[in-house]
Structures are given as C-alpha cells and as structure tokens.
Chain A
C-alpha cells in the first residue's frame, strides 16, 4: 500500500476536486459567533471557542466550514461547487479541550439531482482511494430509516432514543424499547433487522425491498439503488446505523473508513433541512475528510530521522564535504552533515567523509 503524508494527501485531494471543476473556498479563521449559535446542533461538537473582537462583537474560531459556505452560496444561480481545506477548532469527545483539526472537503449547493449526488459520492470514494486502496465507504438513506420509524408509529419525543440505539447497533435494547413504546411489532422487527445490517449493496438491497411500507420509503430505496449503481461497488457497504441529526440531514448520508484508524475519516451527506432552516428552498450535499487522523497511518514508516549521517572534521575541505553529501542525495538518500553525532536522532548509516 502506498503511504502518503497528510500534506501530500491534501495536495492530491485538491487536485482531484479541481479536476471536477470545484472551486476553492477560502475563509478567515474566525466568524461572528451568531452564525454558529443559530445552528448549534448541526456542528459535530457544540463547544465553540469565542472571543471579543476589537469592536465588541462576539467572534468564534470556526468550528465548521459548511455553515459559512451555505450562508454565502447564492440561491437560484445554478450549482455552487466548492472545496476547502481549512483548520477548524473543536473539542473532541475523546480528549476534551479544544483541538485544531485539519479538514478538507467539498460542498455542492443548489438544485441537487442524481448526477450531482453521484458525483459527490464518487469523489468521496476517490478521496479515500487516494489515501488507501483498502478503504470502505458506508452509505445509508435517512429517508428510508425515517419512513420506517414513522410507519412504526414513533412519536417525535422518542425518536432520539431510538436513533441512539440504532447508532450503537444495540439490537437487543432497540427491540426492548420498541416493545416498551408499544410500536407496531412488524415494523419494530424490521427496524431491528435494518440496524443489524451491514454488507455490500448486492446482498442487502433485496432485503430492503421487503421492508418498504409507504411512498417515502419506496422513493428513498429507488434513490439509494440509483446512487449505488453509479459508484464502484467493491468498497461500498450499506449501513443503516449511520444516523445523523434529522433536523439537518435528509436523504443519502455516508461515512468513510480506513483500516488501522480508530474512527471514520470521512463524513458527509445530503443536508437539505439545514438550508430549509436558513430559509432556502434548494438542497445541498457534501463531505469532509478529517486529515488529523492520518498521522496515525504514517506511524508505520520512517524508522530513521535521515538515511545517512555524514561526519567531517577540521581536516576535510568544505567543498569535499558538500560534494559527497550531494552525491548521496542524488542517489535518492537523505543526508545530514555534522561535525559530531547529534543526540537523540537516529540514522540508517553513519560514516566519515572520504
């Protein structure tokens, strides 16, 4: 497997997105706090780092790029296709405290059709492939899950609890809660089955056919099938335990995973509901790649700080030292030149000039 540095990954991803005609979106480090506080639950972590600007306005170090892109995208001007590569500031569940996270991603805002959806998913798959060919892309459709919840007779207030159990693939507790809430037994069973499902679309799509109960689910399934047909199948999986906040997301949602990393590196989906909350009638789809996780992949390489340590003393003429070092570099090796062996660094080879 080819290993890339996270900086190289960023370069590669930018090139990829430009090839598809996406335009870079640059933003400042901070924005007025207002934008974020109004859409707080859209954010991955709700904690926001704030400070007061010179004129007394409350500002925030950006926890997210999507909100700012959507705010600035004009409605009714065709599709806006942008990509970004920015640092965001969030607390993470694992570490507590704020962290700077390098994030690259893209958004497509406007009238989203199957072509646009397919393209974004394809780009998600290609982004992962650029990092490792062993990636997995999990896809789900919120319309399908929401349709099933509705047909089971779930009240709005209990939805969160059920979604949380679905997210944890906790089938036994989910079944228990369905019974406790007195939901339709058949729909409850389907809900449990849906939660436990994981596998390639070819195997799972036929199972989903049998669960369709209403127009909405049928539509969702048709869209899911159409989208799955557009992307190379080998690394694609269906997983209905991906549940994003339904107040913002709707339709297709997806996550990307790489072997050897503890959590997902790519997350995205269709978020028409966010636009509706901002008073717009069109749609949007996009994803983000969390590059800070990639350092972990690099841990396997580079056992040395440099290939060769070249030592010299007062007797060696300077041109000879530099010439020899240059020769080694031309042969593709990294060379450090020193009078004495530096402490704390390691080299594949140590030798004297000459």
Chain B
C-alpha cells in the first residue's frame, strides 16, 4: 500500500486526476463526506488531503510515502526527500513584483514582502543585496500598495491580480510546477511499487 499526500485545492484535484488516469483510482475520494483518508486496496493506494505547504513535511517524516508538492514549497523548506518527477501541472513563476513604473533604488535597503523568506533571501544574497524581509501569510500584493514593502516575492500564475492592482513583474526568479516527491526510506522499502507508480504517471503525462 502506498500512502499519498495530495495538496488540498485546485492543484490537488488536477493531480488526483492524473493519478486516477495513470491507474491509481480511488472512487471513495469523489464522495462528498468529511472523511480525511481514502483507500483503494485493489489499486494499492491510500490518499489523504493536506495543506499544500504541509505535503513536504508529511513526506519527509514518512507519514506519506509519496506526495505532490509545488516546487515553491520544495525550494522554501528544502525537505530531505527524493524529487522523482515533474508533473507539468500547476505551472507558474516565482517572481519579484512591484508597483508599475517605480524605479529600483539600489541606494536603499530593499523591503521585500513574501510568503517565501528563504527563496527571497537566497535570490537577493546571490546578488549581494541587503534586504529587509517582511514575512506575510497572505494577500502579499497589498504590501507595496500600502507602502509596507518596496517589492514582493510571490507566485504569479496569470498576472491578473498584479494587473488589476497596478503592479508588474520586475524579475522572474524561477519557474514552478508540481513535483512528485518520495520519502527516502519508503522509496527503498517500497521500491517496486513507487517506481512503478512513477513510470505510469510519467507515461500518462507524456501522452497528454
């Protein structure tokens, strides 16, 4: 039996569809109830929904054998897991964004609001830039509008929120997509099952 942590939300739905099509269906997951864990012994899988940013923790600590997490989460938390496949869904970019037309002033400490302090820090320290990180948990776009920060480091999918708030992408840090990750010990003890799953998922992703 493989334990799979799925990220709650739109990405998770998409990812479950991939797994379902790749030969790991679990009809119980579609039923509307308050259950947290869904099992399909015939396919050898047990699914559960967790908060997207927690997927890496569940996998690192072996509560889940494998999981699907965005590259943003992996870069931010640097969990000790195997990154086995790029599912090519949930694609977006990690960007620096700020108010339209505002000049980047290098003579001041840059104030950066973000949900991803580690990514922001390593991006700017590679440029030897001194920054002031303001860690926020949501509505990051608000920060530059109210003068809380000069720029934000955040995920940009379509850029619509930025556009409507008179913000623009200044730089792209790294492209993001959903990755299949595995616990390092589970990978060894459930090697045939996990590699089989990876192969089937990979094949399915390639077809579409």
A residues engaging B (CB < 8 A)?
A: 93-94, 134, 136, 138, 168-173, 198-199, 237, 239, 241, 257-264
Contacts and interface: CB of A to CB of B under 8 A. Distances in A.
Given A169-B84, A172-B86, A173-B83, A263 B188 contact: no
B61 A169 contact: no
A171 B180 CA distance: 12
Contact of B189 (A168, A199, A241, A259): A259
Contacts of B82: 168-170, 241
Contacts of B183: 262
B191 interface: yes
A264 B83 CA distance: 17
Given A172-B85, A261-B62, A262-B183, A93 B80 contact: yes
A136 B184 contact: no
Contact of A94 (B61, B83, B184, B191): B61
29 contacts: A93-B78, A94-B60, A94-B61, A134-B189, A136-B188, A138-B188, A168-B82, A168-B83, A169-B187, A170-B82, A173-B83, A173-B86, A198-B187, A198-B188, A198-B191, A198-B195, A199-B191, A237-B188, A239-B188, A257-B185, A257-B188, A257-B189, A258-B185, A259-B185, A259-B189, A261-B185, A262-B61, A262-B62, A263-B184
A257 B187 CA distance: 11
Contact residues on B (Cβ < 8 Å of other chain), bracket: 10 to 19
B81 interface: yes
Count chain A CB atoms within 10 A of each CB in B61, B86, B184, B189 and give the residue with the most.
B184
Contacts of A169: 82-84, 187
A93 to B, nearest CB: 7
Contacts of A134: 189
B53 to A, nearest CB: 15
A262 B86 CA distance: 23
B60 A262 contact: yes
A262 B84 contact: no
B195 to A, nearest CB: 8
Q: Is the interface of A mostly helix, strand, loop or mixed?
A: loop
B174 to A, nearest CB: 11
A199 B191 CA distance: 9
A262 B185 contact: yes
Nearest to A199: B191
Contact of A264 (B81, B85, B185): B185
A199 to B, nearest CB: 7
A258 B184 CA distance: 11
B185 to A, nearest CB: 5
Interface of B: 60-62, 78, 80-86, 183-185, 187-189, 191, 195
Contacts of B83: 168-170, 173
Nearest to A242: B184
Contacts, number: 51
Nearest to A176: B86
A172 B181 CA distance: 13
B78 to A, nearest CB: 8
B189 A136 contact: yes
B184 to A, nearest CB: 7
A260 B81 CA distance: 16
A170 B71 CA distance: 12
Contacts of B86: 172-173
Contacts of B189: 134, 136, 257, 259
Contacts of B195: 198
Contact of B80 (A170, A171, A263): A263
Nearest to B194: A198
A99 to B, nearest CB: 15
A344 to B, nearest CB: 27
Count chain B CB atoms within 10 A of each CB in A94, A261, A262 and give the residue with the most.
A262
A155 to B, nearest CB: 18
A239 B83 CA distance: 15
Contacts of B60: 94, 262
A168 B189 CA distance: 17
Nearest to A173: B83
A178 to B, nearest CB: 16
A237 to B, nearest CB: 7
A199 B61 CA distance: 23
A262 B195 CA distance: 19
Contacts of B62: 260-263
B184 A264 contact: yes
A258 B62 CA distance: 12
Given A136-B188, A168-B82, A257-B189, 14 more contacts: A93-B78, A93-B80, A94-B61, A168-B81, A172-B85, A198-B188, A198-B195, A199-B191, A239-B188, A257-B188, A259-B185, A260-B62, A262-B60, A262-B62
A198 to B, nearest CB: 6
B30 to A, nearest CB: 31
B64 to A, nearest CB: 11
A259 B186 CA distance: 8
Count chain A CB atoms within 10 A of each CB in B62, B81, B183, B185 and give the residue with the most.
B185
Nearest to B181: A168
A260 B189 CA distance: 9
